[in-house]
Amino acid sequence: MSSLSPHERLKPAATTWFAVLRDRICAALEDLEQNAGPNPGRFVRTSWERPGGGGGEMSVLRGQVFEKAGVNISVVEGEFTPDFAARVPGTEAGARFWAAGISLVIHPRSPKVPAVHMNTRMLVTAKGWFGGGGDLTPLQPGTPQAAEDAVFFHAAYKAACDRHDPTYYEKFKAWCDEYFYLPHRGEPRGAGGIFYDYLDSGNAEADFAFTRDVGEAFLAAYPEIVRSRMHDSFTPEEREAQLIRRGRYVEFNLLYDRGTTFGLKTGGNTEAILMSMPPEVKWP
């Protein structure tokens, strides 16, 4: 009988899943580019290695539909620094960790198409857990189209949650609303979604199945939203408002985002970590 913990045994399957999900998401986004007209964008992949152990691959597309779309995967290992160990329940400085995951941020060219963020991950220390979620950022908040897109997006995540635990959606939606909030602005970053962390129900296989469904929910929802909005015309004024709205992404990711902090404090690839930054942004 194996002496490995349930999470240790899942490492190969999780590593494979994040890579497969990356491939499927990239293919779906490239298909949308193909339907936008001539000269569609394609993902360019760049591998990187982490000096302390592991590495990853950054995939970035710059095209007609997506001004910038980044889809990253990584598998890293090492030791927690004292300041970061203090933020992770049940860990100490010098404790070994292993982490794998996928993270994406998509900045569409059209203000009619919402921006989106999604990530899922698995982390193993003395114990193991899963985390992640997805959230939508309409670039024209308050419009009927933005409300319609948010309902569709949330429905996909609610269905994924309900397949595993009827309490998940309300709990993880509230966590998302709290997490993706800009205190200095007094406003949410966008239309929300779900967010969860430190998920260890006692059944690692079930938690992994839920995490896979979070990825599937993204694939079911976001490409459809893009397809329904990508051909809509927009004005210079709407583009200007979009660029200002993107500033909220920059502010949140640099001030509050845990993934950004984790990557920078554990020796991750800086370009991959800051992949989430929009290609063009303005502040009023």
Reduce the DSSP state of residue 118 to 3 states and report it.
strand
Identify which of 82, 142, 112, 104 has the alpha carbon closest to the alpha carbon of residue 28. Answer: 104
Tokens of 93: 């400085």
DSSP 209-239: HHHHHHHHHHHHHHHHHHHHHTT----HHHH
Separation of alpha carbons 252 and 62, rounded Å:
23
DSSP state of 30: H
Instruction: Give strand pairing partners of 99.
Output: 76, 123
- Measured CA to CA in angstroms, residue 265 lies from 98, 104, 132, 144, 261 at distances of 14, 20, 19, 41, 6
107 is catalytic: no
Catalytic residue among 7, 107, 117, 154: 117
Q: 181: which 2 tokens?
A: 């909030």
Task: Give the residue numbers marked as catalytic.
Answer: 117
